[in-house]
């Protein structure tokens, strides 16, 4: 066998053994993509904003050094925006303004967090903790 014929035979053998020459099989299941969470944007944003309000309230409540605190819209608006939909749920970015006072000083601040909202849960995925003391 001459060299070009031997290379051709070797190439055909490698292709056959690797399965590259087979036609697509009708026996294989079709590829499926996972649909994003079906939760409406309004429900996801409402739940994430309520969860962040609870998170900020809990953290401020536990800050014994504060003279007072409150949740409100002082220097910024409370906002919640859907930023992504995945097979796991709806990703929502939240901004929650709050205010506190201690030692005669007052501070207005904003908590920013990211939530994953599913049909059954609202999970805080990221965001700083509040520790005014």
Query: For the domain bounded by 41-126, which CATH number is listed?
Result: 3.10.450
Pure H helices in 3-127: 3-18, 41-61
Of 19-23, 78-82, 91-95, 118-122, minimum mean pLDDT range: 19-23
How do the domains of the chain map onto residue ranges?
41-126
Q: CA dihedral defined by 60, 55, 53, 51, rounded to 10 degrees?
A: -170
Pairing of strands 105-117, 90-102: antiparallel
Question: How far apart are alpha carbons 29 and 10 in whole angstroms?
Answer: 32
Q: What is the mean pLDDT of the chain?
A: 82
Question: How far apart are alpha carbons 90 and 126 in whole angstroms?
Answer: 14
Q: Give the model's pLDDT for residue 111.
A: 95
The proportion of the chain whose per-residue pLDDT surpasses 90, expressed as a percent, equals 63
Provide mean pLDDT across the span 21-33.
49
Q: Give the model's pLDDT for residue 9.
A: 52
pTM: 0.70
């Amino acid at each position: 066998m001459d060299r070009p014929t031997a290379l051709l035979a070797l190439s055909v053998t490698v292709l056959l053994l690797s399965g590259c020459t087979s036609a697509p099989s009708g026996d294989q299941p079709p590829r499926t993509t996972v649909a994003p969470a079906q939760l409406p944007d309004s429900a996801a944003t409402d739940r994430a904003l309520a969860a962040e309000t609870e998170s900020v309230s809990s953290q401020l409540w536990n800050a014994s050094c504060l003279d007072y605190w409150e949740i409100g819209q002082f220097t910024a608006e409370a906002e919640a925006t859907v930023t992504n939909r995945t097979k796991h749920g709806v990703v929502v970015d939240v901004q929650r303004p709050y205010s506190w006072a201690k030692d005669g000083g007052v501070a207005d601040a904003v908590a920013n967090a990211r939530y994953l909202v599913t049909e059954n849960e609202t999970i805080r995925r990221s965001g700083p903790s509040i520790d005014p003391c």
